[in-house]
Amino acid sequence: MSITWEQAFSQVKDMIWQDPWALKEMPELSSLPELRRFLDMVHIKYCLIKPYFETANYPLVEARELLPSFDLDIFEYRHLPGFSLVALARPLSYFQEIFQFDILHSPFEYLDQEDSSICPLETHILHQNQLAFQNRLPRQMHDEFQYYFSERDLTALEHYPRVLSFLLHMERGHVFSTIPSGPFVFSGVNASFPSDLDTELKRFGLRIGMFKVGSNRCYELNRNFVYQFLMELYGFSIVSERRTSSALFARRLYKLSEEFLVRVLGQSDRTITTLYKNSHANPYPQVEKIALVRIDSDQLDLIDHLSRLGAFVDSQNNVVVLRVTYRQHRYDKNNVRQDRALSVLRQEIIHPLTGEVCCEANVIKDISNMLLKLNDIVKGEYIGSIRFKKSEVVSNTDTHEKRLKFLYAWLSKHQRRIIGYGDEFYSGVVKVLDGYIFQPEHLDTFKSHPRLYNDVWSKYSYIRQARKVRILEDLTRRSRKGTPLSWLDMLQQMNELLNDFKFEIHPYFDGLMERVIDQCEKVLRNSYLNKRYVQLDDDRPGRYGLKVKTQYRRLVGLVDELKDIRKQRPEFRQANSVQSEKDK
């Protein structure tokens, strides 16, 4: 049975809603995890569940939108809520802060030390807070605001749900902080988060080796990749100013070792994104996203389990509150999945009444669902919208032209997963794609869209070859499918792969060849391998050692051949670099 938003969150654990907007028996929140849990409940109720039931055809977030790398926003839903905020686990020092905002003061800051029930400035403080807040509101909302807050303390968290209804009409962010030796309070509005994008982008690009000082050409070719990678580390694609500034502000606070929380809800992505300093020694803030998502109808076991728990926001449409936590990855130029800045760490379904985590479930990256959607695309049965090459919105798959565009977008979206997932999933993808791309009855249709067909084929070819490079990466670590390898087995299997590369890799993707050569040279320079086998005379290492030396020499020859091919065909290198940048 579905619920209305008035019912949702009506029975929150340890809290009782006094009226549709205020709380009573509100506990003091003195730590960031406690504040984050409180904000989760308030924002889910009023910024996700409430709009869902009040908006006709609410645009639910598709599961693929929560999978990195994140899609660009297709539509802007200006009637839906949007906000940004920062919380600092310390009292504010107004002049010393690194961002601009209008400060609000809690009466508890000025309590008499001998009699904590007396605050002679309380009436004056409340009035000044109301003026500061009201001055940032649209004029037509002034009367309503005065009606609710003429005698109430704006900064008290029990009033935050009602304050939020006004904050959603403000463009800029709001602020939470603690009072001296006390809990969190609502302490600022009209916050502008600094975003020194140019400096951060160039510094990051230089650090990962994608930019060179003074090289305009290098900057032009790699700027979009660096920009996209940097933003994805903080949970976004290259999007609106509100989300960009929030991400870079979180980056700055993290570098300053602040205990902080930054949160933003975009009107286009309909997703609450939170960045905060975690307790682990990670080089980046923790990233979480919360959204309303529909569970696929074929996940029957999960649907039954959630039904028994009463965890659906709307059981008729299988809508749940999903929280996804991500893991960040450092850039590695030698990893064939070098564009992977984020991966999914954990998925949690939140109960809409209690706010508790019901269960962890694989909602957004279920392999069977990915293959089913791929099948639907090639059969022309997929219903939805994608953005093709960041410029064209394509809806449905009722023509082969649209199917090819969907395939290109699907392959681009899931490229790193196809390269990295297991053999069973990969063979399923190959079976579906080969059955469509090489279908004789489709060839005449594909000839009428040669450029589009070539785009799909090139993307597919890159994935096939990159998967072999990933296998080579595993071999260089003397491992294959989790099984340790001897030096001889490693060298033999590497030589078999390189023999294939010699004939197929270079004419298409020079970047992959660079990684192959670099990985192989690391093996050739291995100090133990050289001292134990290669540098010994042929009569000393024994029968096994001679086999290792033979395979080593063969590897040297194959690497030299690849280097010669690369030197002889420089025009491919330049063309493929430009084409790769265009695809990104």
* pLDDT tens sequence across 266-282: 888 899 999 998 866 57
Closest CA to 576 of 449, 469, 458: 458
* pLDDT tens sequence across 204-223: 889 888 888 888 888 888 88
pLDDT at 282: 76
Q: What is the pTM of this model?
A: 0.77
Residues 162, 43 share a domain:
yes
pLDDT at 184: 92
Residue 8 lies in a domain: no
Residue 115 lies in a domain: yes
Q: Residue 28: is its pLDDT beyond 80?
A: no
Residues 396, 358 share a domain:
no
Residues 271, 375 share a domain:
no
- Given 320, 348, 364, the domain boundary residue is 364
pLDDT at 415: 82
Residue 112 lies in a domain: yes
* pLDDT tens sequence across 144-190: 888 888 888 888 888 898 999 899 988 899 999 999 878 899 999 99
Alpha-helical segments (H) within 367-449: 367-379, 400-413, 415-420, 423-437, 443-447
Residues 340, 412 share a domain:
no
Q: Do residues 548 and 540 touch, judged by C-beta distance below 8 A?
A: no
Burial bucket for residue 574 (CB in 10 Å: 0-12, 13-18, 19+)? exposed
* Angle, helix 542-568 to helix 487-504, in steps of 10 degrees: 20
Residues 426, 285 share a domain:
no
CA trace torsion 567, 570, 573, 574 (10° rounding):
150
DSSP state of 109: G
Q: What is the mean pLDDT of residues 257-269?
A: 90
Q: Count how many Cα atoms sit within 13 Å of the Cα of residue 474 in the half-sphere of its side chain.
A: 17
Residues 127, 238 share a domain:
no
- Given 326, 341, 364, the domain boundary residue is 364
Residues 375, 351 share a domain:
no
DSSP state of 31: S
β-bridge pairing 83-88 and 173-178: parallel
Residues 429, 417 share a domain:
yes
Q: Residue 575: is its pLDDT beyond 60?
A: no
pLDDT at 149: 86
* pLDDT tens sequence across 70-83: 877 767 888 899 99
Residues 536, 481 share a domain:
yes
Residue 218 lies in a domain: yes
Of 32-41, 235-244, 506-515, the least confident: 506-515
**Whether residue 165 has a cis bond before it, omega within 30° of 0:** no
- What is the Cα–Cα distance from 508 to 502, expressed in whole angstroms? 12
Identity of the highest mean pLDDT range in 204-213, 361-370, 497-506: 204-213
The CA-atom distances, in angstroms, between 106 and each of 114, 150, 190 are 18, 15, 17
- Given 310, 334, 364, the domain boundary residue is 364
Q: How many domains does the chain have?
A: 3
Task: Spell 9-43 as b/e; 16+ CB within 10 A means b.
Answer: beebeebebeeebbbeebeebeebeebbebbbbbb
Q: What is the mean pLDDT of residues 123-127?
A: 84
Residues 418, 327 share a domain:
no
pLDDT at 2: 46
Helix (H) or strand (E) holding 506: none
Instruction: End-to-end CA distance of the chain: give it in Å, rounded.
Output: 45
Q: Do residues 413 and 397 touch, judged by C-beta distance below 8 A?
A: no
Q: Residue 383: is its pLDDT beyond 90?
A: no
115: domain range? 16-57+84-191
Q: Residue 8: is its pLDDT beyond 80?
A: no
* pLDDT tens sequence across 533-567: 888 776 666 788 888 888 989 999 988 888 887 77
Residue 405 lies in a domain: yes
pLDDT at 569: 60
pLDDT at 90: 92
Q: Which tokens hold the place of 122? A: 């309380």
Residue 274 lies in a domain: yes
Q: What is the mean pLDDT of residues 334-340?
A: 66
Q: What is the mean pLDDT of residues 322-342?
A: 79
Predicted confidence band of residue 335 (pLDDT cuts 50, 70, 90): low
Residue 73 lies in a domain: no
pLDDT at 18: 37
Residues 217, 127 share a domain:
no
Alpha-helical segments (H) within 234-310: 241-255, 300-309
What's phi and psi for 295, nearest 5 deg?
-75, 130
Q: Do residues 109 and 180 touch, judged by C-beta distance below 8 A?
A: yes
More confident residue, 40 or 360: 40
Identity of the highest mean pLDDT range in 13-22, 245-254, 415-424, 458-467: 245-254
Residue 461 lies in a domain: yes
Predicted confidence band of residue 389 (pLDDT cuts 50, 70, 90): confident
- Strand, helix or coil at 47? helix
**Mean of all residue pLDDT scores within the chain:** 82
Q: Residue 114: is its pLDDT beyond 80?
A: no
pLDDT at 310: 86
Q: Residue 14: is its pLDDT beyond 60?
A: no
pLDDT at 581: 45
pLDDT at 25: 57
Q: Residue 22: is its pLDDT beyond 90?
A: no
Identity of the highest mean pLDDT range in 70-74, 88-92, 330-334: 88-92
Q: Residue 15: is its pLDDT beyond 60?
A: no
Residues 232, 288 share a domain:
yes
Predicted confidence band of residue 236 (pLDDT cuts 50, 70, 90): confident
Q: Do residues 169 and 141 touch, judged by C-beta distance below 8 A?
A: yes
Q: What is the mean pLDDT of residues 375-389?
A: 82
More confident residue, 485 or 119: 485
CA trace torsion 31, 34, 36, 37 (10° rounding):
180
What's phi and psi for 260, nearest 5 deg?
-145, 170
- What is the Cα–Cα distance from 41 to 354, expressed in whole angstroms? 9
Q: What is the mean pLDDT of residues 39-46?
A: 91
